Amino acid sequence: MRASASNKTSLCSALLCCFLIGLLPTISHADTPVLNVVERFGVEVKNAEFTLQGDSYVLSADIDYRLSTRAKEALKSGVPLYWDIHIKTLQQRDYFWNKTLVNTGIRYRIQYHALLNMYRVRNEGAGDVTNFSKLSAALDSMSTIRAFRVMDTATYAPGERYAASIKVTLDRDALPLPLRPIAYVNPQWYLSSDWTLWPLTK
Amino acid sequence: MAFDKIKPPISLSILVLFGLILLLLQLMSSATQESSELSAMYSWLLLVNALGSVVLLGLVGANIYSLARQLKKREAGSRLTTRMVSLFVVLALAPAVIVFYFSMQFLHQGIDSWFNVEIDRAMEDALELSQASLDQRMRWHLRQTQQLTSRLVDSPETLVTLEMENLRQLSGASEMTLFSRQGRIMASSSINPSDILPSLPDEHVWLQLRRNTEFVALAPVREDELMIRVIVTVKTREPQYLQALYPVPIRIADLADSVEFAFVRYQEMNFLRDSLKLSFSLTLSLVLLMSLLAAIWVAFISIRNIIAPVKALVKGTQAVASGHYDRDLPVTAQDDLGFLVESFNEMTHRIARASAATRMAGIEVENQRAYLETILANLTAGVISFDTVYKIRTANQAAYRIFHVHVNQFVGRTLLELVQSYTELAEPLKSIQRLLEQADDIWQQRIAFLGPNGRQELLCRGTPLFSQEGLRVGAVVVFDDVTDLIQAQKNAAWGEVARRLAHEIKNPLTPIQLSAERLQHKLADKLNDIDAGILQRSTTTIVQQVEAMKEMVDDFSEYAKPSKKQTVDIDLPRLVQEVLALYVLKSGVKFKADYDTGLLMVKGDPVSIRQVLHNLIKNALEAIDGKGLIEISLHRVQKNNTDFIEIAIYDDGPGIKDEQIEQIFEPYVTTKARGTGLGLAIVKKIIEEHGGAIWVDTSRRLPGTAEVSQSIGNRCDKVGAGFIIQLPACNF
Q: CATH classification of B379-481, choosing from 3.40.50.1820, 2.60.40.10, 3.30.450.20, 3.30.470.20?
A: 3.30.450.20
Kindly report the nearest CA distance between residue B341 and chain A, in angstroms: 46
Least confident segment among B203-217, B462-476, B700-714: B700-714
Residue A77 belongs to domain spanning: 2-200
Is the pLDDT at B358 greater than 50? The verdict is yes
Residues of chain B numbered 216-245 and touching chain A (CB < 8 Å): 217-220, 222-223
- More confident: B553 or B146: B146
Domain count, chain A: 1
- Give the tens place of pLDDT for each residue, A57-80: 888 899 999 999 989 999 988 899
User: How far apart (Å, rounded) are the C-alpha atoms in residues B199 and B219?
Assistant: 10
Kindly report the nearest CA distance between residue A61 and chain B, in angstroms: 22
The long-range contacts involving A129-136, CB below 8 angstroms and separated by at least 24 positions, are A129/B220, A129/B222, A129/B223, A131/B219, A131/B220, A132/B204, A133/B204, A135/A67, A135/A72, A135/A75
Stretch B20-30: mean pLDDT, rounded?
Answer: 77
Kindly report the nearest CA distance between residue A46 and chain B, in angstroms: 24
Domain coordinates in residue numbering, chain B = 9-114+274-318, 131-260, 379-481, 488-560, 568-728
Nearest to B431 by CA among B453, B446, B412: B446
- Supply the pLDDT for residue B598: 81
Least confident segment among A33-47, A78-92, B376-390, B522-536: A33-47
Nearest by CB: B260 against A15, A16, A114: A114
**CATH architecture of the domain with residue range B568-728:** 2-Layer Sandwich (3.30)
Q: In chain A, pLDDT over 70 holds for what percent of residues?
A: 81
Counted across chains A and B, CB pairs separated by less than 8 A come out at: 104
Least confident segment among A6-10, A191-195, B440-444, B464-468: A6-10
Inspect the interface and report whether the beta carbons of A12 and B47 lie closer than 8 Å.
yes
Judge whether B697 and B722 are in contact, CB under 8 Å. Answer: yes
Q: Is A1 on the interface with B (CB under 8 A)?
A: no
- Supply the pLDDT for residue B331: 77
- Supply the pLDDT for residue B163: 82
Q: Can you tell me whether residue A57 is helix, strand or coil?
A: strand
Is the pLDDT at A50 greater than 90? The verdict is no
Q: CATH classification of B131-260, choosing from 3.40.50.720, 3.30.450.20, 3.40.710.10, 3.40.50.2300?
A: 3.30.450.20
**Residue B360 — pLDDT band, cuts 50, 70, 90?**
very high
Q: Is A109 on the interface with B (CB under 8 A)?
A: no
Q: Which range among A21-30, A171-180, B552-561 has the greatest average pLDDT?
A: A171-180
Q: Is A135 on the interface with B (CB under 8 A)?
A: no
Contacts of B274 (CB under 8 A, 6+ apart): A30, A31
Is the pLDDT at A12 greater than 50? The verdict is no
Is the pLDDT at B343 greater than 50? The verdict is yes
Radius of gyration of chain A (CA): 18
Chain A residues in contact with B282 by the CB 8 A cut-off are: 24, 181
Is the pLDDT at B252 greater than 50? The verdict is yes
Residues of chain A numbered 147-176 and touching chain B (CB < 8 Å): 173, 176
**Residue B563 — pLDDT band, cuts 50, 70, 90?**
low
Inspect the interface and report whether the beta carbons of B263 and A115 lie closer than 8 Å.
yes
ipTM: 0.72
- What rounded mean pLDDT belongs to chain A? 79
Q: Is A179 on the interface with B (CB under 8 A)?
A: yes
- Give the tens place of pLDDT for each residue, A119-174: 989 988 888 888 888 898 889 888 888 888 888 777 777 778 888 899 999 998 88
Stretch B196-214: mean pLDDT, rounded?
Answer: 81
Is the pLDDT at A7 greater than 60? The verdict is no
User: How far apart (Å, rounded) are the C-alpha atoms in residues B299 and B286?
Assistant: 19
- Supply the pLDDT for residue B319: 85
The string of DSSP letters for B66-84 reads HHHHHHHTT-TTHHHHHHH
Chain A residues in contact with B252 by the CB 8 A cut-off are: none
- Supply the pLDDT for residue B38: 67
Inspect the interface and report whether the beta carbons of B279 and A181 lie closer than 8 Å.
yes
Q: Does the fold of domain B379-481 match that of domain B131-260? A: yes
End-to-end CA distance of chain A: 28
- More confident: B495 or B318: B318
Least confident segment among B152-156, B640-644, B668-672: B668-672
User: CA B255: distance to chain centroid?
Assistant: 92
Q: Is A137 on the interface with B (CB under 8 A)?
A: yes
Is the pLDDT at B440 greater than 70? The verdict is yes
Is the pLDDT at B701 greater than 60? The verdict is no
Is the pLDDT at B528 greater than 80? The verdict is yes
Q: In chain A, pLDDT over 90 holds for what percent of residues?
A: 13
Residue B691, Ramachandran bin (φ over 0: left; ψ between -120 and 50: alpha; else beta) = left
Inspect the interface and report whether the beta carbons of B263 and A24 lie closer than 8 Å.
no
Q: Is B259 on the interface with A (CB under 8 A)?
A: yes
Q: Is A114 on the interface with B (CB under 8 A)?
A: yes
Q: Is B42 on the interface with A (CB under 8 A)?
A: yes
Inspect the interface and report whether the beta carbons of A177 and B263 lie closer than 8 Å.
no
Q: Is B205 on the interface with A (CB under 8 A)?
A: no
Is the pLDDT at B363 greater than 90? The verdict is yes
- What rounded mean pLDDT belongs to chain B? 81
The string of DSSP letters for B80-126 reads HHHHHHHHHHHHHHHHHHHHHHHHHHHHHHHHHHH--HHHHHHHHHH
Inspect the interface and report whether the beta carbons of B204 and A30 lie closer than 8 Å.
no
Q: Which residue of A has its CA nearest to B275?
A: A178
Q: Is B268 on the interface with A (CB under 8 A)?
A: yes
Q: Can you tell me whether residue A81 is helix, strand or coil?
A: strand
User: How far apart (Å, rounded) are the C-alpha atoms in residues B648 and B654?
Assistant: 17
Least confident segment among A29-33, B37-41, B590-594, B706-710: B706-710
Nearest to B383 by CA among B397, B371, B404: B397
User: CA A137: distance to chain centroid?
Assistant: 18
Q: Counting beta carbons within 10 angstroms of the beta carbon of residue A173, is it exposed (0 to 12), middle (13 to 18) or buried (19 or more)?
A: buried
Q: Which of A116, A172, A180, A186 to mutate to test the interface with B (most CBs of B within 10 A)?
A: A116
Kindly report the nearest CA distance between residue B189 and chain A, in angstroms: 23
Inspect the interface and report whether the beta carbons of A19 and B47 lie closer than 8 Å.
yes
Judge whether A144 and A62 are in contact, CB under 8 Å. Answer: yes
- Supply the pLDDT for residue A31: 45
Nearest by CB: A115 against B34, B204, B256: B256
